[in-house]
Structures are given as C-alpha cells and as structure tokens.
A = this chain, B = another copy of it.
Amino acid sequence: MTTTQVTLVQIDNYGPWTVTPEPRREMDLQTLQSRLFADIAQFVGHRDAYVFFTRFDNMIAVTNGVDDAAHAALQESIGNRYPVSISLGTAVAERPVDALTSANRRLQTEGSAQDEHRTEVLAGEYLAETTDTDLQIAHFDVVDVTGKYTDQINEFDTFINVERAYASLMHHLREAHGALSFFVGGDNIISVCPDLPERAFTDAVSHVESDVGVELQVGVGTGSSAHEAGFTAKHALEDCRRDGTSVELFGAPAIGD
C-alpha cells in the first residue's frame, strides 16, 4: 500500500500581480515562472522529492521525506529572492489525488488564491517515517517519437500528438486510480500512482493507443521517495527501449509487446 505525501505550491495572489499596475512583459513572466520552478526543483530534488510545473502558478510536489522545517526553509528562501511569495499545503494519503485534495484544502480554507492578505500559508501534515513501498511511479514515453514524429512532421503537430496522449493518459489514470500524471518535457510523462498491478499499466497503454492512436511504453518503480521510485522507473523504461516491451515493472519479469 502506498503512502503519498503531496505538497501544493501556490504563488500568492499571482494573477493580479501580473497585471498591476499594468500587464507585465510576457517573457519576464515566463522567466520568473520557470526559474521559480527550477529553484523549487533543485530544493526538493536534493531531498529526493519531485515537483511538477503543472500550471506554474500552482505546482504539485511529491514530498515524502521532506519535513515541515524544510518546507519553511523553502518558503523563506523564495520570499527572500523573488518579487512574489508562495503558500505551501501538505497532506498524506494512500492515493495521490486524495493527498492533493487534502493539501489543497489547507490553503483554500485560509482564503482565496487571490486574497492579497492570505500570503505565505504553511500548513500541513508530514510523514514521520518512510518505507520502501510508499511510492509507486510510472515513467511513460512515446515509442520512437523521434523517428515517427520529431524528424517527420512540424514541431507543433508533434506537440499536438504528445499533448493528446498526455490528456488521454492523465484523465484515464485520474479517473480509474486516483493517480496524478505530469508531462515533463519531450515525450515523457511521469505518473504518481497508488499501488497498481501490471495490468493497470497495460490497460493504460492500450487505452491511449485506442483513444488517440499514440503508442506508449512505460517503466514502473517503487521506493521510499519520489526519486527512488522514479529512478527505478527510468531504469525499467530503459529495459522497454532495449527489449521492445511496452510495460516493465522494476524487478518483475517483462510483459511482451
């Protein structure tokens, strides 16, 4: 059984800030957002956690092993170095989506994301201990994306295909299992899952192929942290690439394509 600690990172009152006193230059906003994400990725990454950019003004992190002091340190450091501040809500549940809902509610009950007086909320519960099966992470990519898409058609049409595969997968895994799936660039999608059997991944791959016609492959790993689970998933995905299989569970026998 998984135990997922999820942190919602929300920029305080960001929307109004972007247009006050008048709209700010778009490339400055893009720079600010992506650097803020990069800084959070470094901070949590060195603690073996993951953060996903999601909508940039709201980011979702999987923070098993990161305690309240570290969350406070992150919040202070961002406040010291950016023109905006962040609120952090954290919660724990078996299913990722339930942890997120609970984490999210901790911010929502404090006020609106656009309430200028609701800043730097730090609210949450944190896991005291971790075990080797707390997290299950699946790393998907598109079979031969370079040969089939990148080198053949224009980048926007490639992107449309990747986006459609992502939309199909994120919706399926959310509805069927309460998993949270994130596009992480290129043709890569990382899903934070509850404890799912191999069949669930075979089904997901089939679902996407029949839904939008894009062929995925997936490596799955478990671990006590997002990095540990995600890293074994990456290695399992390498096995797919090498062996032509479509689903590989780290440590489990391969399933034929």
In the bound complex, residues from chain B placing their C-beta under 8 Å from that of A187 are 55
A:163-185 near B, CB below 8 Å? 163-164, 166-167, 170-171, 174, 180, 184-185
Interface presence of A186 (CB below 8 A): yes
Q: How far is the CB of A152 from chain B (nearest CB, A)?
A: 8
Could you say which of A21-29, A128-136, A201-209 contacts chain B?
Answer: A21-29
Find A234's partner among B23, B34, B150 (CB 8 Å cutoff).
Answer: B23
Q: How many copies does the complex hold?
A: 4
Q: Are B234 and A26 in contact (CB under 8 A)?
A: yes
| Given known contacts A113-B151, A163-B170, A51 and B27 CB-to-CB distance under 8 angstroms | yes
In this assembly, does A97 line the interface, its C-beta being within 8 Å of a C-beta of chain B? yes
Among B42, B170, B235, point to the contact of A77 (Cβ < 8 A).
B42
Q: Which of B37, B44, B167 contacts A34 (CB 8 A)?
A: B37
Chain A residues in contact with chain B, CB under 8 A? 8, 10, 14-15, 18-19, 22-35, 37-39, 41-46, 49-51, 53-58, 60, 70, 73-74, 76-77, 80-83, 97, 100-101, 104, 108, 112-114, 146-147, 150-160, 162-164, 166-167, 170-171, 174, 180, 184-187, 190, 227, 230-231, 234-235, 238
Measured CB to CB, the nearest residue on chain B to A96 is: B156
| Most chain B CB atoms below 10 A, which of A8, A70, A160, A227 | A160
Q: List residues of chain B with CB within 8 A of the CB of A46.
A: 27, 43, 46, 70, 73-74, 77
- Please indicate the chain B residues that have their CB under 8 angstroms from the CB of A146 in the complex: 15, 112-114
